[in-house]
Chains A and B, each alone.
Chain A
Amino acid sequence: MLTITQALYDRIVEHARADHPDEACGVVAGPEGGGRPERFIPMLNAARSPTFYEFDSTDLLKLYREMDDRDEEPVVIYHSHTATEAYPSRTDISYANEPGAHYVLVSTADTDGSGPFQFRSFRIVDGEVTEEEVKVVPAY
């Protein structure tokens, strides 16, 4: 289960909405081993694409150095799908390299009448996808 504050949830959604129709991506870091997302870090989608995202390689190094220095890990790795449902694609699965992270997908396709806004969370380990419950709380 992913437990996340309303404030962080809102920031992820805002970022996804702001970058639509391109995919938005980012991380919520938290203390190593604690499993609690705390620090919201929106990332630039170097691909600037409606169907693909990739963290810029220089930003990626900076991000991991910073997390290392602060004894943090990427608790949540999020990105948006802009025309399809919030479910990991084959591409998402093959590039998922953080077995300890919650992979959050949001879909901004709702504006096109395909149903309510979607915010879903998954574990992706060794190519296997497991959806988990998302619990939004006022504070930890």
Chain B
Amino acid sequence: MAIEVRIPTILRTYTDGQKAVEGSGATLDELFKDLETRHAGIRERLVDDKGELRRFVNVYLNDEDVRFLGGIATELGDGDSVTILPAVAGGAV
């Protein structure tokens, strides 16, 4: 099952500068574990120590924010495209 994963600039240090990589998995969780085997360190940037998606990382399945789908358990299919984008956020405090 090939899934295209689009990598943001800040995480390309884990992918030798590649903008997109391929991975596999029946769920987002499995996909991130699969990515970790070839891009060590990337998973920790995406999920917290409880295994949930980090609050300020946005992950999209095709055009949909996975928070509105199944979160880390979102099911994936062959040919899906996953996009990772860090939140653009901040503030005075």
* Chain A residues at the B interface, C-beta cutoff of 8 Å: 23, 25, 27, 43, 47, 49-55, 57-58, 60-61, 64, 73, 77, 79, 81-84, 88-89, 91-92, 95-100
- Chain B residues bordering chain A, tally (CB within 8 A): 19
B93: chain A residues within 8 A (beta carbon)? 51-52, 89, 91
Q: Could you name 16 residue pairs across A and B whose Cβ atoms are closer than 8 Å? A: A43-B88, A47-B91, A54-B87, A55-B87, A60-B85, A60-B88, A61-B58, A61-B63, A64-B8, A64-B83, A81-B92, A88-B90, A95-B86, A96-B90, A97-B10, A97-B87
Q: A60-B87, A61-B83 in contact; A82/B92 too (CB < 8 A)?
A: yes
Chain B residues packing against A (C-beta within 8 Å): 8-10, 56, 58, 60, 63, 65, 67, 83, 85-93
Does the CB pair A23–B85 fall under 8 Å? no
B88 pairs with A100, CB closer than 8 A: no
Given A55-B87, A57-B67, A91-B92, 5 other A-B residues pairs in contact with their CB atoms under 8 A? A53-B90, A61-B60, A64-B83, A79-B91, A97-B8
Are A92 and B91 interface neighbours, CB within 8 A? yes
Q: Assess whether B91 is in contact with A49, with CB atoms less than 8 Å apart.
A: yes
Closest to A62 in B: B63
Separation of A49 and B91 alpha carbons in the complex (Å)? 9
